[in-house]
């Protein structure tokens, strides 16, 4: 298990999490797109107890039945998605982690919501919604 750290744009929010292997997904859903302002967002999902807020205060926004999203109150960086793959899960946008964090993107998800102006050009698996085997009871 190694410990990884991340922070928001202004540095008010600092967090760490413990994971052995940092698999991540690129999510193309409209919620991620609007929260990040890009074609997709790269998320590392984990159990809530693996994540620890070290410093700062998060502003929580209920974006959908899918789950709550939390942002830095000061700079607006998107810091957490609650309940993304299970009720006790959180997902951390990989871009907040330190640059050399060994993240491995393993799949593209919610590709059915992808914008036309972005093309996926790698050979990773693509799923219209959740990858098989992921139970997302809170998604409509």
Does residue 70 interact with Zn ion by CB under 5 A? no
Beta bridge partners of 23: 104
Distance of alpha carbon 37 from alpha carbon 112, whole angstroms? 18
Q: Which of residues 102-121 bind Zn ion (CB under 5 A)?
A: none
Decide if residue 10 touches Zn ion (CB under 5 A). Answer: yes
Name the residue nearer to Zn ion (CB basis): 10 or 52: 10
C-alpha distances in angstroms, 92 versus 47, 79, 87, 120? 11, 6, 15, 22
Binding test (CB under 5 A) with Zn ion, winner from 54, 60, 75, 115: 75
Q: For residue 121, what are the contacts with CB-CB under 8 A and spacing of at least 6?
A: none
Instruction: Please identify, among the stretches 22-30, 57-65, 85-93, 117-125, the one whose residues bind Zn ion according to the rule CB under 5 A.
Output: 22-30
| Contacts with Zn ion, residue ranges (CB under 5 A) | 8, 10, 12, 27, 29, 32, 72, 74-75
């Amino acid at each position: 298990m190694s410990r990884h750290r991340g922070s928001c744009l202004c540095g008010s929010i600092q967090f760490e999490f413990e994971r052995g292997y940092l698999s991540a997904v690129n999510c193309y859903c409209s919620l991620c797109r609007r929260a990040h302002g890009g074609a997709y967002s790269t998320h590392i999902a984990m159990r809530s107890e693996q994540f620890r807020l070290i410093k700062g205060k998060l502003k929580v926004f209920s974006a959908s039945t899918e789950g709550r999203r939390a942002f830095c109150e000061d700079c607006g960086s998107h810091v957490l998605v609650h309940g993304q793959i299970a009720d006790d899960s959180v997902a951390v946008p990989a871009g907040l982690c330190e640059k050399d964090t060994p993240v491995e993107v393993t799949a593209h998800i919610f590709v059915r919501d992808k914008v036309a102006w972005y093309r996926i050009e790698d050979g990773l698996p693509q799923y219209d919604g959740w990858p098989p085997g992921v139970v997302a009871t809170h998604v409509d």
